[in-house]
Amino acid sequence: MDRPVPAHNRPRRCVFCGRYYVPDARTSRVQKACSRPACAKARKQSAQAVWLSKNPNYFRNRYATYVKEWRRQKRERTEKENERNGG
């Protein structure tokens, strides 16, 4: 009589290429794609897209708080240097 196959050893279908694969035992709960390089890349990109959709203001806030401040400081430095050089 066959022993039941543990859940983490059951073949699953890759959400990207549609092929069946046996998930890694450690990541089987979250793994949705096979380990082919193309699918790993697609998985990372889709994870990034999901993350971005959850954090839509991340880059905007980053610009507002970091880049803007950096530009202001740079402008002040440049103005001071210009003064020192006689304009």
Q: Percentage helix, strand, coil, to 5, in the chain?
A: 55, 5, 40
Beta-strand runs (E) in 1-87: 12-13, 20-21
Does residue 58 contact residue 52 with C-beta atoms inside 8 Å?
Answer: yes
Regarding 43 and contact with Zn ion (CB under 5 A), the answer is no
Going residue by residue from 65 to 84, which x/- string records binding to Zn ion, judged by CB under 5 A? --------------------
Regarding 34 and contact with Zn ion (CB under 5 A), the answer is yes
What Rg do the C-alpha atoms of the chain give, in angstroms? 25
The 10 Å Cβ neighbour count of residue 18 is: 9
The nearer residue to Zn ion, 16 or 23, going by C-beta atoms, is: 16
The nearer residue to Zn ion, 17 or 22, going by C-beta atoms, is: 17
Going residue by residue from 2 to 31, which x/- string records binding to Zn ion, judged by CB under 5 A? ------------x-xx--------------
Binding-site ranges for Zn ion (CB under 5 A):
14, 16-17, 34, 36, 39
